[in-house]
Structure 1
Amino acid sequence: MELGTHPWPGVRPFPTTHRSSADDICRSLRHELRDCGTWLHTQPVPLEPFAVSRSAYDELFTAARELLNLLRRAVLEAAPTRQGRLAAVGVRPTAQTFPFFVDDDAFELRHCDAMARPDVVIGPDGPRFVEFNVSGAFGGPTETHGFGQAWTRLYGGPERTLPFTVDDPFAARADLFEDVCAELGLPRAVALVGNRVDRRGETTRYFDGEAAYLRERGFDAEVLEPRDLPQKVSRTGNVRFPLALRYFSPGDWVSRGEPLAPVHAMIAAGCILYPPESSYLLANKRLLAWLSEGAPWMSDGDRRLVHRYLPWTRVIQEGKVRWRGDPVDLRQLLTAHRESFVLKPAVGMVGHGVVLGRSCPRPQWEAAVTRALGAHDAIVQEYVEPVRYQLEMIRDPGTQPYRVAVAPVLSPLLFGGRAGGVYARYYPDGRSGVIGVAQGGAMENVVLAAAT
């Protein structure tokens, strides 16, 4: 089944009357997103964005907001204390994991859902949200901004009448920062704390565009890498930036020998690391399992929402689960129906540790199931067979354009509830399965809504 005939997206291919030539599109995208960690210089380049109807586009964001609210509610209902919430999701904080909690628990919980990037697969019954990335470190904003800028230039006639509308993640996040600074009485100054190594770049260009945009919006903004941090806290303990976007994972830095002490020094000097540490609790996949199974506090409307948009998901543990209306032993279910399921670490990112049953030999699958049942640190999710989209692409300037039926993963970006565009990843050879950009070489693009 292809997205073009699927009832959900209402795909409307954008008019190409005034579209730039294929060669110009290829060169423009490679220039716009240079040194930003994409594979545009080595993989086939898309000649168009993914196109959907306005109603389908809006549905992604409506569902994303409502599900994110349920994830936050699940964390709040898990326990009345921080330690209780951590225990409920199976997390033991260490100096490398969850190192930046602040004493103000009300602030942590009020802002834990400020930034989110769910990952969505369009299946035979429409969109299914397979996970939520909730933090400041997820990829997508810079890529989505760059593609949006490029498509805006590359489409449209002399009057620049575009066949689509563009939501800009930089604008949405700047609006959020304005709200945060106003709420906390802070001057408009934001540091983007990240590392070019995390984004596979040779320069800080991945972060520079957003910093420049923030300066245009009246913020004092600067990109700070690990080596820059000690210089930003004076000997008297003052810090230039009262707010810092946490564009990194502590585990990544520690694994490369980057010290976290300068970050702690910034916090001690009065800098607020944003979003707060509790955002990572919402990214724990156990919460998706709780919602899928149903919690006592959920209303009938909550359950209908979850049934509509979440695939069947459970925490992996010995015992019985309800599968398609019947109680069954989980181990036996996973062994008998390997091709129907995916194993995922409860805490994980960029596809690490994900085991896809249909792509895994039976002995390896059964060993992974046994390990997960013993470790109590994973979830199992029903596999969503993706529908396809016929995307036009080109290998290099001067070559012939062609189309491939690809299986994209779509990611609506949310900043303080605001729509920041839809980031998309796919394999240009049409493969489906675990999508990985850094390790797997997946190509990137955006989803744009038809203007009419």
Structure 2
Amino acid sequence: MARAVPSEVGNGRTAGPPTTLVLRDRWEQMSPTEQTQYLERRAAEGRWEHGRLEGWPANEEWQPMRPLVLDADGYRELGRIAHRILTLTVETCLRRARTAGELGELLGDLRPHLWLDRAAALNDTPLLRIARPDVLLCDGVPQFVELNTAIALYGFPALDHMASAYAGLVPDRWSAPPSTHRARTELLAGIAAGRPGGRLRVLVPTWASRVGPAGRLGTREALRGYLRPTVEAVSALGLDVVEEDLSRLRTDSDGRLLADGGPVDVVFNCFAGARATGADDGVEAVRTALAAGTVQLLFPEAMRMLNNKQALAWLHEDLDLLAPQDRALVEKHVPWTAWTGPRQPPAQRTELLERALADRTDLVLKPAIGANGTGVVFGADVDDRTWHALIGERAAKAAVVLQRRVDSDLVDMPFLAPATGRQCDVRVPVVVGPFIVDGRISGTLVRHFGPENPGAGRIINTRTGATVNTLVLTTP
């Protein structure tokens, strides 16, 4: 049986001294004989189905044969750094805005946040409940290029199972990282336990949507099966769990949210309400209950605003306000990021454009609001004239950020074609996405390309054909 790392791993709520963290893939430390024996065991396993419900097998022919292998102590330090960077980013937002509405105005966030109380005071703790930063390892040094605090962070059980399966093949050397699914479940239970009253009810809703797991799975029954591990885990912690479709929710005369014949206290909202279809009455019922203070969302909708990459630019603007150890942390682990947009004074925009032209080949242009690599342009891919025009045109419509380009270290990844038993090795860049749940690191989403498209592009995303993988931990 694979060894499990204690759940308190990576819990660092205070800043420490400037980090010297360097993370290297430990696969190469295994002898050729050990690697061969491992690959034989993995090949004997054949096709793994982890992530099929999430729609991860983008390439049906090839599967990675091994995980990324990281040092356990380095993994803990990565969690501490990630949580501190997230905390510092929230603090930059709190310096500029007192309420969710003010923050949205400053960020130019015009998206429909259906359950957002714009007059509500911002509170750092709820904003930091869960995140999955995108981290590139550059000469072994973690570089945080995006923070990803969106509500819809899926795939926890599949990643947990994948990590355990890998670790089970080398039980004396490898261990699975702490379970992300367990960490999220404990977070949910803690929030529910903090509400007044007797035995509380937690709603795990289904919903219809054209995107996300609901869109991929197609039916509410399939979505309910996908959510079954969450229901079972919450029930195991002693909470009453009710499953109901979002479209069927209503409120009573006291503003309590009703589901399956009774009131609920906490909503497991692992989706964006604005993307649910055919559920207007249910969405409105949740809004009514929130306004009445009778229900709580696991993930406050204000969390979505921190996805705005302008917040990382603010972090760099505030370097002089940070304690020395925090400034050193940001300068070492967050690539230089600056923003420009309709709200920026002309003189500042002109100055930024001059720097953007001078450093074009070392910069990346990104929409401040966006995901999956949409709208990302590398300065090295265009000429000066196109680059200047592109920045000007986009910044006139909405905020964009310029970020120092970071190139990922390459790792040797063996692949298996389960149908034929063929194997091959590909040298690929990787992006590491550690989950930070309530301040603790737990589990990790790893993405890289496969044999058919090892150099598919600099944007390593499942939408661009990347394969989903994870990591295991080892000790010296």
Note whether the superposition's TM-score is higher than 0.5: yes
User: 2:98, 2:122 within 8 Å by CA — same for their partners in 1?
Assistant: no
What's the CA shift for 1:190? Answer: 3.9
Q: How many residues align?
A: 424
Q: Deviations over 1:388-445 (max 9, x none)?
A: 01111112333322211111111110111122211111111322411221x3221101
Q: 1:146 to 1:58 in 2, by over 3 A?
A: same
Aligned to 1:302: 326
- 2:274 and 2:458 mapped to 1: Cα distance? 25
Q: 1:247 to 1:238 in 2, by over 3 A?
A: closer
Aligned to 2:78: 60
1:443 pairs, out of 447, 467, 472, with 467
For structure 2, list consecutive stretches of 5 or more residues without a partner in the other structure: 1-20
For structure 1, list consecutive stretches of 5 or more residues without a partner in the other structure: 1-6, 322-327
| Secondary structure, counterpart of 2:148 in structure 1 | strand
Matched, 1:284 2:308: yes
Query: Pairwise mapping of residues 40-439 of structure 1 onto structure 2 (< 5 A)?
Result: 42-92=60-110, 97-102=112-117, 105-106=120-121, 109-124=124-139, 126-153=141-168, 155-156=169-170, 161=172, 163-185=174-196, 187=200, 189-192=202-205, 195=208, 197-199=211-213, 200-202=216-218, 203-204=222-223, 205-221=225-241, 228-233=245-250, 238-240=257-259, 241-253=264-276, 258-269=278-289, 270-295=294-319, 297-316=321-340, 318-319=346-347, 329-360=351-382, 364-428=386-450, 429-431=453-455, 432-437=457-462, 439=463
Which amino acid in the other structure matches residue 111 of structure 1? Answer: P
- 1:314 and 1:401 mapped to 2: Cα distance? 44
Which amino acid in the other structure matches residue 230 of structure 1? Answer: S
More moved, 141-150 vs 174-183 = 141-150
Which amino acid in the other structure matches residue 373 of structure 2? Answer: G
Aligned to 1:11: 25
- 1:221 and 1:330 mapped to 2: Cα distance? 52
Identical positions, percent = 22
Aligned to 2:10: none
User: 2:309, 2:368 within 8 Å by CA — same for their partners in 1?
Assistant: yes
Q: Deviations over 1:86-131 (max 9, x none)?
A: 2222234xxx522212488358543111111111011136110001
Q: 1:264 to 1:161 in 2, by over 3 A?
A: farther
- 2:140 and 2:351 mapped to 1: Cα distance? 27
Which amino acid in the other structure matches residue 209 of structure 1? Answer: P
Structural RMSD (CA): 2.9
User: 1:313, 1:382 within 8 Å by CA — same for their partners in 2?
Assistant: yes
Which amino acid in the other structure matches residue 22 of structure 2? Answer: W
What's the CA shift for 1:364? Answer: 4.8
Q: Deviations over 1:200-236 (max 9, x none)?
A: 2343244333333333333344565xxx223243676
- 1:138 and 1:352 mapped to 2: Cα distance? 18
- 1:305 and 1:194 mapped to 2: Cα distance? 41
- 1:127 and 1:238 mapped to 2: Cα distance? 43
What's the CA shift for 1:362? Answer: 5.8
Which amino acid in the other structure matches residue 114 of structure 1? Answer: R
| Secondary structure, counterpart of 2:311 in structure 1 | helix
User: 1:351, 1:434 within 8 Å by CA — same for their partners in 2?
Assistant: yes
| Secondary structure, counterpart of 1:184 in structure 2 | coil
Q: TM-score, normalising length from structure 2?
A: 0.80
